[in-house]
Amino acid sequence: MNFNTLPDIMIRNANMINEGQSKFCDVLIKNGRIAKIQSSISSINNAKEIEANGRWLLPGMIDDQVHFRDPGSPHKGCIASESAAATIGGITSYMDMPNTQPPTLDLDALQAKKTIASQTSIANYAFHFGVSADNL
Protein backbone atom coordinates (compact mmCIF):
# COMPACT_ATOMS: atom_id res chain seq x y z
CA MET A 1 0.00 0.00 0.00
CA ASN A 2 1.26 3.46 -0.88
CA PHE A 3 0.88 5.46 2.33
CA ASN A 4 1.94 8.66 0.56
CA THR A 5 -1.54 8.88 -0.97
CA LEU A 6 -3.32 8.86 2.40
CA PRO A 7 -4.77 12.15 3.64
CA ASP A 8 -3.24 13.92 6.62
CA ILE A 9 -5.32 13.41 9.77
CA MET A 10 -5.40 15.51 12.93
CA ILE A 11 -6.94 13.90 16.01
CA ARG A 12 -7.84 16.54 18.57
CA ASN A 13 -8.30 16.23 22.35
CA ALA A 14 -7.64 12.50 22.59
CA ASN A 15 -7.00 10.73 25.89
CA MET A 16 -3.89 8.84 24.80
CA ILE A 17 -3.18 5.67 26.77
CA ASN A 18 0.35 4.33 26.36
CA GLU A 19 2.85 2.54 28.61
CA GLY A 20 0.72 2.90 31.71
CA GLN A 21 0.17 6.62 31.27
CA SER A 22 -2.76 8.73 30.18
CA LYS A 23 -2.53 12.23 28.71
CA PHE A 24 -4.75 14.50 26.66
CA CYS A 25 -3.19 15.48 23.36
CA ASP A 26 -3.49 16.14 19.65
CA VAL A 27 -2.02 13.65 17.18
CA LEU A 28 -0.97 14.45 13.61
CA ILE A 29 -0.82 11.57 11.13
CA LYS A 30 1.02 12.18 7.85
CA ASN A 31 1.49 9.59 5.10
CA GLY A 32 -0.15 6.95 7.27
CA ARG A 33 2.27 7.42 10.17
CA ILE A 34 2.21 9.35 13.42
CA ALA A 35 4.17 12.55 12.76
CA LYS A 36 3.59 14.52 15.96
CA ILE A 37 2.04 14.14 19.41
CA GLN A 38 1.65 17.29 21.51
CA SER A 39 -0.77 18.84 23.95
CA SER A 40 -1.85 21.21 21.15
CA ILE A 41 -0.89 21.21 17.46
CA SER A 42 -1.61 24.10 15.09
CA SER A 43 -4.05 23.38 12.27
CA ILE A 44 -2.56 21.82 9.15
CA ASN A 45 -3.91 22.74 5.70
CA ASN A 46 -6.04 20.00 4.14
CA ALA A 47 -5.78 17.71 7.18
CA LYS A 48 -8.97 15.88 8.08
CA GLU A 49 -9.76 16.80 11.68
CA ILE A 50 -11.30 14.32 14.10
CA GLU A 51 -12.54 15.65 17.44
CA ALA A 52 -11.96 12.89 19.99
CA ASN A 53 -13.66 14.77 22.87
CA GLY A 54 -11.51 12.95 25.43
CA ARG A 55 -12.12 9.48 24.00
CA TRP A 56 -9.33 6.96 24.47
CA LEU A 57 -6.63 6.66 21.85
CA LEU A 58 -4.88 3.31 22.24
CA PRO A 59 -1.73 1.93 20.63
CA GLY A 60 -2.20 -0.68 17.93
CA MET A 61 -2.84 -4.17 19.23
CA ILE A 62 -0.89 -7.35 18.39
CA ASP A 63 -2.72 -10.56 17.47
CA ASP A 64 -0.26 -13.37 18.12
CA GLN A 65 -2.32 -16.19 16.60
CA VAL A 66 -3.98 -15.66 13.23
CA HIS A 67 -4.91 -18.19 10.56
CA PHE A 68 -4.73 -16.38 7.21
CA ARG A 69 -4.47 -19.58 5.08
CA ASP A 70 -2.14 -17.97 2.58
CA PRO A 71 -0.54 -19.64 0.68
CA GLY A 72 -2.76 -22.58 -0.20
CA SER A 73 -6.33 -21.49 0.53
CA PRO A 74 -6.62 -17.79 -0.31
CA HIS A 75 -10.37 -18.19 -0.89
CA LYS A 76 -10.63 -18.61 2.91
CA GLY A 77 -8.54 -15.51 3.59
CA CYS A 78 -5.33 -14.17 2.13
CA ILE A 79 -2.69 -11.98 3.74
CA ALA A 80 -3.94 -8.89 1.87
CA SER A 81 -7.60 -9.26 2.84
CA GLU A 82 -7.03 -10.42 6.40
CA SER A 83 -4.39 -7.82 7.26
CA ALA A 84 -6.77 -5.14 5.97
CA ALA A 85 -9.57 -6.52 8.15
CA ALA A 86 -7.23 -6.67 11.14
CA THR A 87 -6.20 -3.03 10.84
CA ILE A 88 -9.83 -1.91 10.68
CA GLY A 89 -10.25 -3.58 14.07
CA GLY A 90 -7.17 -1.92 15.61
CA ILE A 91 -4.69 -4.75 15.05
CA THR A 92 -1.44 -3.31 13.71
CA SER A 93 0.72 -6.45 14.03
CA TYR A 94 -0.04 -10.13 13.61
CA MET A 95 1.68 -13.51 13.85
CA ASP A 96 0.40 -16.05 11.35
CA MET A 97 0.20 -19.72 12.29
CA PRO A 98 2.01 -22.37 10.20
CA ASN A 99 -1.05 -24.38 9.09
CA THR A 100 -1.01 -23.31 5.45
CA GLN A 101 -0.46 -25.31 2.26
CA PRO A 102 2.37 -26.01 2.26
CA PRO A 103 2.79 -25.82 6.04
CA THR A 104 5.48 -23.46 7.28
CA LEU A 105 7.92 -26.19 8.27
CA ASP A 106 11.05 -25.15 6.38
CA LEU A 107 12.88 -22.00 5.35
CA ASP A 108 11.51 -22.08 1.79
CA ALA A 109 7.90 -22.05 3.05
CA LEU A 110 8.75 -19.29 5.52
CA GLN A 111 10.37 -17.19 2.79
CA ALA A 112 7.32 -17.67 0.54
CA LYS A 113 5.05 -16.27 3.25
CA LYS A 114 7.44 -13.38 3.91
CA THR A 115 7.45 -12.53 0.20
CA ILE A 116 3.65 -12.49 0.02
CA ALA A 117 3.42 -10.37 3.17
CA SER A 118 6.06 -7.88 2.01
CA GLN A 119 4.02 -7.25 -1.14
CA THR A 120 0.46 -7.30 0.23
CA SER A 121 0.23 -6.84 4.01
CA ILE A 122 -0.80 -3.47 5.37
CA ALA A 123 0.07 -4.45 8.96
CA ASN A 124 3.31 -5.50 10.64
CA TYR A 125 3.79 -9.26 10.46
CA ALA A 126 5.63 -12.26 11.83
CA PHE A 127 5.20 -15.99 11.29
CA HIS A 128 5.11 -18.96 13.61
CA PHE A 129 7.29 -21.83 12.46
CA GLY A 130 5.81 -25.31 12.62
CA VAL A 131 7.35 -28.46 14.02
CA SER A 132 6.78 -31.95 12.68
CA ALA A 133 8.50 -35.32 12.85
CA ASP A 134 10.30 -34.36 9.63
CA ASN A 135 11.97 -31.17 10.86
CA LEU A 136 12.89 -31.86 14.50
Supply the CATH number for residue 34's domain. Answer: 2.30.40.10
Tell whether the model's pLDDT for residue 3 goes beyond 60: no
pTM over 0.75: no
Query: What average pLDDT does this structure show over 41-67?
Result: 92
Domain assignment present for residue 136? The answer is: no
Domain assignment present for residue 133? The answer is: no
Give the model confidence (pLDDT) of 67-96 as tens digits: 998 898 988 989 999 999 999 998 999 999
Peptide bond into 71 cis (omega under 30): yes
Tell whether the model's pLDDT for residue 15 goes beyond 60: yes
Shared domain check, 44 and 8? yes
Shared domain check, 121 and 85? yes
Percent of the chain at pLDDT above 70? 97
Domain assignment present for residue 20? The answer is: yes
**Domain residues for 47?**
3-57
As a whole number of angstroms, the distance between CA 112 and CA 65 comes to: 19
CA distances, 46 to each of 6, 7, 33 (Å): 12, 8, 16
Shared domain check, 85 and 67? yes
Angle at 55 between CA 54 and CA 60, to 5 degrees: 130
Query: What average pLDDT does this structure show over 17-42?
Result: 91
